[in-house]
Amino acid sequence: MSLGEKIKEIRLQRGLTQSQLADATSITLRTIQRIENNEVNPSSHSLNELSRVLEIDFSELKHKSKEKTYEFNLTFKITDMTQFLNDLKTLVKIHWKTILLIVIASWIITNYTDIKSGIMDAWGGK
């Protein structure tokens, strides 16, 4: 029996719905669904939350699993993004001349051959 199936079995024994389990933990309903369907392996944090609410120790089950565990955690906080954008605006306000110089220099470098041939044509009177 997989870890996800075991979690589902214990949840049902406790008389909880997936929604109730999500409300009792800091885990989203979709994550609980994905764990129970074995689409993902639960993170250590998720296992701790599930252990706390379902009153069972999952650490032994996780370590006995023969499957390799790959964890991918992505935390996205909108307040952090807002702060980043504010910092970026401040940076542009302070250093706009330097940024403009870099953009112009990059444009000249990437178009050097066209600029050179245009100057040579104009200099030669063509």
Residue 78 pLDDT: 67
Q: How far apart are CA 100 and CA 104, in angstroms?
A: 6
At 100 the pLDDT is 94
Torsion sign across C-alpha atoms 35, 58, 63, 72:
positive
Asked: is 3-64 a CATH 1.10.260.40 domain? The reply is: yes
- pLDDT for the residue 60: 56
Instruction: Report residues of the chain scoring pLDDT below 70.
Output: 59-71, 75-78, 125-126
Please choose, from the candidates 34, 37, 36, 57, the residue with its C-alpha nearest in 3D space to the C-alpha of residue 47: 57
pLDDT of res. 126: 58
- Encoding tokens for residue 122? 């104009």
Q: What is the pLDDT of residue 64?
A: 47
pLDDT at 26: 86
Residues 6+ apart with CB under 8 A from 46: 25, 27, 31, 35
Q: Report the distance separating Cα 119 and Cα 88, nearest Å.
A: 38
Q: What secondary structure letter does DSSP report for 43?
A: P
Question: Where do the domains of the chain lie?
Answer: 3-64, 78-123
pTM (2 decimals)?
0.48
DSSP string, 38-50: TSSPPPHHHHHHH
Q: Within its chain, how far is the Cα of 67 from the centroid? A: 24
Q: What is the pLDDT of residue 12?
A: 94
Identify residue 49 by its one-letter amino acid code. Answer: E
- pLDDT value, residue 98: 92
